[in-house]
Amino acid sequence: MQGPIKRSVTIAGHETSISLEPVFWEGLRAAASDEGLPINALIAQIDAERIATGDPPNLASAIRVWLYARLSNTRA
């Protein structure tokens, strides 16, 4: 398994770096395509949901959990 890959993304006009394993980057690309959104827009949505929680996890963790929940919902 390949280790995390760091990429820069722009969220709400601010650049940030996110480190994710390739499988999660692939999942994000697929989810963004399914939603008809640019990947940065999808990450911004996930970030907004993350911030709305009482004790937000870091963004990379929030992305992983969001993708897992999405996959779980498609299998149910």
> How much of the chain exceeds pLDDT 90, in percent?
76
Residue 76 has pLDDT above 70, yes or no: no
Report whether 64 contacts 57 (CB < 8 A).
no
Model-wide pTM > 0.75: yes
| 48-64: pLDDT as tens digits | 999 998 888 899 999 99
Report whether 5 contacts 26 (CB < 8 A).
no
Amino acid at 8: S
Report whether 34 contacts 27 (CB < 8 A).
no
End-to-end CA distance of the chain: 27
Domain ranges of the chain: 1-32
pLDDT of residue 60: 96
Report whether 38 contacts 32 (CB < 8 A).
yes
